[in-house]
Structure 1
């Protein structure tokens, strides 16, 4: 953990410290929208290059503002939807590889679409606070570009979708807020919108739900150190997705820094941090490439509640699809959604809530056993899944937790629950029986497992499981018990 903190500190220092060499520039970067005075006349020579992507040659054709002939030359089709990809802050002044992967994925998903890359490298390849200041100018240029398309070839702004990564997310937001008239841009997607100099700012000074008819955002690297995080933590959209809690992502561990340094040199440190930041991009690309494996996220107050499996409901629009195929719905208040993912593409996992009703037969004694669970499904099986309860087992209580599976096992039809005990546990249990023989006969005190209730997030199916051995509900260390689907015999006792 200390290594991760150091890594984040190094990146944040790299972002912020160079700005001090430019004196008052950091202060300028924080100027409000009301001080933005760029005029139409100033923009005849745009800093932004609008590159229309063509999948046939995997090249691009530049469209110039106010030059209609370039629209014809590049075969821009005003009757088709438009997606504009907006990159973020640039360290090396080169367009990153993910941009072309996303453009290709968009064209593969919908052949009948215009895809433009908004290249603002000249303004993005600056000290971070200067690039922050430039986001407003670039946002204005994109707004003017869309207005020009609307005025000259009757392309509707409501048919435009801006996808912005890091600083590009805020550029997209400014484009939406600067565009004139009452009609808004159709959709803006913010991919781990930048945090430094934007966190805690007013909606007019960052991406916000007011910037388009529909705004969605994916947060993947919001782990804070010294009050800063690479990605913005606060909600900025109608639907804000927080994969794996949004703080960090699987597969981006500090252990990979040495491999990145070997490949990229000293910039490998930034590559390691970039892994979690850029994961937002690859989650979105994944949603385009794998139509049969769309990731579902669920409305929840926080990741801790989500990890208990308490939020796997799709009632009243409480769940939504992450990425390109999201269900677009304007909400009066931002909605935070959580999900788990794999470390690599395809990222989709299947979410299950398990609720186990335990009775601990030792009065006043809390125990913290380790369990494994094996599931038999109608399609596949999942074996030896480790189970971690958020609290120790005490008294008569139902415990809820979340399990995720990489594969679709179908409908769960049988569960095997094993108490991963040892000989030490066995001896302890025998000692307890000798000292406190509170039960009749020879039966040892143990855990009574009354029911196991399962809810599948993706299908919303629910089922109750009871012990296959009706006469013996006890579970002891090193023992495995089988549970099968049953009528809820304990319904009246087990309601929470």
Structure 2
């Protein structure tokens, strides 16, 4: 039996969304029974667990001795990890991985896990309503730290995943006073019941001095997506376009089972959604391989390599080490990543201009490219042109490499498959006059006057080429 790729993608999405859609009709409009006030701060639903090398230590609001017992240091920054909706009522393993990564790279900080499982382990729409309650409790916790040990909220960084991203936003909007929380990071903020809502009803740039978000699973089915698609921050990152992530297709379920055992099935289902978490952890663990993203109108323009510029702060670093800059309007940034850590790739833009008119119908692109760099070479790269080729037109495209090949020395193009045009050889001979070949086998490009051939590869040398780097843009 043959199952199409689209059908498999739909099946993967439906595994995630079935529970959501089953309960929306029964729970919309109902009110959560959980409320909290200033009077019952000692009985908050949220547990605040300070992460230490020995485990975790719970801090209780209005119990000052627990700060001393847990060795909370008010002079150090605070990073609070806020999980999302819980299906099984257990804190997920990524939470401890992120806490450990934060402490290993930045030991001089307090790392707290905001455990709101009591409110998150509910039917999804109920958990959505409970995000406000949890946000209020986190705000009360930060206010209590300010009142008792003079901890400044500007030194607090909330990292919220899925529903936890909106919890963090509500914490920022509920906190009293004119001063804001320092930073909020939203890791694939939840989409259902938040997409299209007003800024006061979801994470927004107004919730902290600086807000960043990473969107990794915004592929829509039945009008819903797991992660929110709209911008919700000062900088919104869309790795690989934000709709889906490499290595997360249902076809990779066997790889996940090999790595996680039977739990690999669950890992496959939530792979793209949770990729936001691992991209952030990656930014902590691989300081020498920070992923750079670029401001662009959409993924189509980015895939043409049109946005690889860092001038006027048009690029930024994804993850913990982001350049924090408040902007009057949300800025959408794009990048490509690998399927596993370290996720960083090197972005290269190329432009090809076809010189002459093409006889007959436009031809489907079938190019490969090999690059020779000062550090290493990259061979047989597929050129991702997405449109048919016609004459007298410039084509721009993006290629990504896992390793840095350094400065470009030589480019080799290879035309594969279909017949090439006979009528442009006269033009091409003026570019490389020393070449003696049959006119039906070749065609050329003006931006980099190299040689294309069906069966072998040739390159031009410095004495016969125009500037080979004129239409080559390297970005890291």
TM (norm. structure 2) is 0.89
**Residue 310 of structure 1 pairs with residue 306 of structure 2:** yes
Deviation at 1:443, TM superposition (A): 5.9
1:50 is matched with: 48
Within the alignment, does 1:406 sit opposite 2:402 as a pair?
yes
Q: Any unmatched runs of 5+ in structure 1?
A: 453-465, 468-473, 492-496
Task: Find the counterpart in structure 2 of residue 252 from structure 1.
Answer: 248
Of 385, 389, 392, the residue aligned with 1:393 is: 389
Are 2:475 and 1:480 equivalent residues in the alignment?
no
Kindly report which structure 2 residues correspond to 1:358-377, keeping only aligned pairs within 5 A, or say none. Answer: 358-363=354-359, 365-377=361-373
Pairing 1:82-93 to 2, within 5 Å after superposition: 82-93=78-89
For 2:28, the equivalent position in structure 1 comes to 26
**8 Å contact from structure 1 (residues 300, 306) kept in 2:** yes
How many Å separate the matches in 2 of 1:6 and 1:322? 30
Change in CA separation of 1:341 and 1:489 when aligned onto 2, cut-off 3 Å: closer
| Structure 2 residue matching 1:481: 3-state secondary structure | coil
Q: Deviations over 1:355-400 (max 9, x none)?
A: 1122244345422241111111111110110113122221212110
Q: Aligned in 2, Cα 1:295/1:489: closer, same or farther, shift over 3 Å?
A: closer
Contact 1:186 1:214 in 2 (8 A): yes
Q: Which residue of 2 aligns with 1:444?
A: 439
Cα RMSD (Å): 2.7
Instruction: Select which of 96, 99, 104 maps to 2:100.
Output: 104
Paired with 2:149 and 2:15, the residues of 1 have a C-alpha distance of 48
CA distance in 1, matches of 2:110, 2:87: 28
C-alpha deviations, 1:85-118, integer Å up to 9, x for none? Answer: 0000111111111001100100111111100000
Mapped partners of 1:442, 1:61: distance in 2: 76
Contact 1:48 1:118 in 2 (8 A): yes
1:324 alignment partner, one of 305, 320, 325: 320
Cα shift at 1:476: 3.9
* Residues 216-236 of structure 1 deviation map (CA, whole Å, 9 limit, x = unaligned): 000000000011011111100
User: Residues 210 and 360 from structure 1, CA distance in 2 versus in 1: closer, same or farther, beyond 3 angstroms?
Assistant: same
Take 2:437 and 2:178, find their aligned partners in 1: how far apart are those partners? 79
Aligned length: 454
Judged with a 3 Å threshold, the aligned counterparts in structure 2 of structure 1 residues 490 and 371 are, in CA distance, closer, same or farther, namely closer
Q: Deviations over 1:375-432 (max 9, x none)?
A: 111111101101131222212121100000000111111111111236xx37xx67x8
- Partners of 2:461 and 2:289 in 1: CA distance: 29
**Equivalent residue, structure 2, for 1:10:** 15
Question: Aligned match of 1:78 in 62, 74, 77?
Answer: 74
Write out aligned runs for 1:179-218 (5 A). 179-218=175-214
Distance 2:21 2:437 in 1: 70
Offset, 1:273: 2.1
* 1:276-311 residue CA offsets vs partner (Å, 9 max, x unmatched): 100000000000000000000001111111101011
The Cα of 1:196 is off from its aligned counterpart by 0.6
Query: Are 1:159 and 1:185, in contact at CA under 8 Å, matched by a contact in 2?
Result: yes
